[in-house]
A and B are shown apart, each in its own frame.
Chain A
Amino acid sequence: MSDDNDSRPVLEVADLEVHYGVRRRRRRALHGVCLTVSPGETVGVIGETGSGKSTLARAVLGLVRPSGGRISVVGEEITGYSQQQWRALRRRGVVQYVFQDPLRSLDPDLTVEESLIEPLLIQGVPRAEASARGRAYLARVRLADDLLGKLPGELSGGQRQRVAVARALVAEPKLIILDEPVSALDSANRVGVLEILKELRDAGMALIFISHDLGSVAGVADRIAVLYQGEIVEVGPARTIINAPGHPYTRLLVGSAPTLRTASASRAEREALRARLQVQLHVRAEADLAPAR
């Protein structure tokens, strides 16, 4: 994988299919998903629990095996990778992942410094250089050096999530996938982490920002993809999706989000949209009775 061609999409997902379970318990998690992320672009993925947001992220990371379609990272198709190739790819740290709960992505027994430099040591970077880079990225997420010796348990939720972001950055990835990175944070920390993401975006990092919080997605993403029942039902510029949603599900999502002034759609509107989606689901359920490939 050469690093010189910068105009290539960082991520290309084409006709992605993912199924969970076997035989009669086989369920479709993703269907016909196409998504491209260019360098320096932030794509927001919204949709409710079970819509396939996290499955998409896991497929890109090679944590679930697609049953169809292609995934390319920086021009290289990874769909047919062997375990070994996956391990090598992950070691290079081309794609990084930040979870909702930083306590899960940080080893509770490692200090902040150890967590930060671990990916570098694995890559064979000398300790002194790794340490310096760790400090630099800690500063980038606006944390002071004196946190280096602390354990994750000694940090606040906001600090921990920043450390998780710094750790993702240390390996100098091409793409960072953030899965609900601010959902567990209170408003002050949420603003803090989102500001950092905006800085990264403006500095040319490609991000996939998965969230059900429309306000933060609208504030960070260039484009938004709406996942519903495993399919992307709508994708477009963030402003368009928020202000002129086309699909009834997107309209329901936007209309359900309360704002300070009140819910943006009346309850009657939301119920009408829900009823419409219900009808669509029935139609789809009948179509699905045909065995899934």
Chain B
Amino acid sequence: MTGTPPDKPDTVVPADAVVLVDAAVPVDAAVPGDSAVLAVRDVRIRDEINDREIVHGVSFELRPGQVIGIVGESGSGKTLTCRAVLGILPEHLAVSAGSIHIAGRDIGGLTEREWTDLRASTISAVFQDPASYLNPSLKVGSQITEVLRVKLGLGRRAARHRAIELLAAVRLRDPELVYDQYVFELSGGMLQRVLIAAAIAADPQVLIADEATTALDVTVQAEILDLLADLRERIGLALVVVSHDLAVVAQLCDEVLVMRQGEVVEHGPTEDVLYHPRHAYTRLLITEHEQYGLERYLDAPAPAAPGPAESPDPPQSRGRAAQAEQPESAEQPKSPERRQSTDRKVLDGVR
């Protein structure tokens, strides 16, 4: 439930050509590997009013259970890129070049109907201000069952049962109580959990979290980040995390994309980008972060769980290796801080 009205499709491909989309993928475009649940290739976004390009070519690929972070100052194009992926760009903006594949499907010419089918069941999103994406006059439970009934075709009772399960899955303390509560009765952290529950209700493969923890208290933020880490581990949810907080990205992401004025200036494994930045802008972001980062005022390094820097191998290779090897490994307990890609089969085990 992204709550945002679907916009018109981004390109002018006639709607009836779209059904064959898999066959219609241009031969010259490298077809994303089977493993990618989201493949963004050289996406450019143009403002049709003043005919200016705002995003100048973004590319990344996301495999199940992988987490990619997008950082950059306000106006760098982070959010626009996400909105393009969700097909909810503002009216006057359009993807002018490049391609986006969600679960192997080119979204270039999707009709509104097809978009509606794709959203929530394949790709979903959570934004900064949870209250504005929920209906204040409906109980939160019914806003989750709506997704379940429409997307999964569940009956009233089954939907209620599943909704309460979902509320429990996002670690709300009293899911039955919350089910019957209204938006105004819940705190920001609880609302963000409700929104995440609604977003994952129809078992999407990709969740976009756009500044999803920015407005939350630091303790609640930690809980939501734990929850997202759980979801990727338990059901192999792939995440796109947009944040201006480098520390959040450091904690959660395998890969980082640094954007500035619509351009990707650096892209690589989190360790490399955050601890050995190459681009001057990345270094600037890190310097700014560290100037008032908590680590600066901590006397000695905290006796923390192994940080990314101490990880034996970069996440990229780890992720690939995990996938090539054995999906069953997903069921084994792992370090809570960082995990590997899992197979979506695990999902049914969880439910």
Contacts and interface: CB of A to CB of B under 8 A. Distances in A.
A195 to B, nearest CB: 9
B297 A212 contact: no
A264 B304 contact: yes
Contact of B304 (A190, A216, A266): A266
Nearest to B76: A186
B217 to A, nearest CB: 4
Given A186-B74, A188-B288, A242-B298, A259 B218 contact: no
A262 B304 contact: yes
B299 interface: yes
B288 A261 contact: no
A243 B219 contact: no
B251 interface: yes
Interface string B301-318: 110111111000000000
A214 B294 contact: yes
Classify the secondary structure of A's interface with B.
helix
Given A187-B289, A261-B250, A262-B305, A219 B297 contact: yes
Nearest to B173: A278
Nearest to B220: A48
Given A215-B297, A258-B248, A49 B221 contact: no
Contact of B274 (A187, A215, A219, A260): A260
A267 B337 contact: yes
B298 A243 contact: yes
Tell which of A188, A259, A268 has the most Cβ of chain B within 10 Å. Answer: A259
Given A48-B220, A191-B288, A258-B247, A215 B293 contact: yes
Interface string B203-222: 00000000000000111111
Interface string A252-275: 111111111111111110100000
A239 B296 CA distance: 11
Contact of B296 (A186, A194, A219, A252): A219
A153 interface: no
Interface string B327-351: 0000000001100000000000000
B103 interface: no
A81 to B, nearest CB: 33
B44 to A, nearest CB: 24
B47 interface: no
B217 A48 contact: yes
Contacts of A256: 218-219, 221-222
B309 A261 contact: yes
A238 interface: yes
A267 B305 CA distance: 8
B247 to A, nearest CB: 4
Interface string A89-109: 000000000000000000000
A50 interface: yes
B224 to A, nearest CB: 11
A263 B300 CA distance: 14
B187 A215 contact: no
Given A258-B222, A259-B247, A242 B309 contact: no
Nearest to B285: A187
A218 interface: yes
Interface string A185-219: 01110110010000000000000000011111011
B294 A257 contact: yes
B295 interface: yes
B119 interface: no
Given A219-B292, A260-B293, A264-B294, A49 B188 contact: yes
B337 A260 contact: no
A267 B224 CA distance: 12
A191 B292 contact: yes
A260 B298 contact: no
Interface string A7-23: 00000000000000000
B290 interface: yes
B299 A239 contact: yes
A48 B219 contact: yes
B232 interface: no
B286 interface: yes
A190 B297 contact: no
Interface in A48-83: 48-50
A216 B288 CA distance: 12
B288 A187 contact: yes
B263 interface: no
B73 interface: yes
A200 to B, nearest CB: 16
What 7 A-B pairs are tightest by C-beta distance, nearest first? A256-B222, A48-B217, A262-B307, A218-B297, A258-B247, A264-B302, A187-B288
Interface of B: 73-74, 187-189, 217-222, 225-226, 244-248, 250-251, 274, 285-286, 288-302, 304-309, 336-337
5 contacts: A214-B294, A262-B306, A263-B251, A266-B337, A268-B336
Given A188-B288, A254-B294, A260-B247, 6 more contacts: A48-B217, A50-B187, A253-B218, A260-B293, A266-B305, A270-B222
